[in-house]
Amino acid sequence: DADKKRESTEEREKKTRAVAACRDAEKRDEKNESSGHAIETQRNETKVREC
């Protein structure tokens, strides 16, 4: 039981980190679009779609 609890906590932490990384990528997208870095924006869009 303790192992299962630890696993689910780790999974939750991974998801939280993934979501945080996604939000960061979205923020970068907004900055990139306003500064015109199209290639960088396309790369970030693929990351954002994953979440």
Q: Parse the chain into domains and list their residue ranges.
A: 2-50
* CA-based radius of gyration for the chain: 15
Nearest residue to 22 (alpha-carbon basis) of 38, 45, 2, 5 = 45
pLDDT at position 13 is 94
CB distance 40 to 32 below 8 Å = yes
CA distance 24 to 7: 26
| pTM of the predicted model as reported, rounded to 2 decimal places | 0.47
Higher pLDDT, 12 or 49: 12
pLDDT in tens, 5-44: 888 999 999 999 999 988 888 888 777 666 655 555 566 6
Other CB atoms closer than 10 Å to residue 39's CB: what's the count?
Answer: 8
Phi–psi pair at 36, nearest 5 degrees: 80, 25
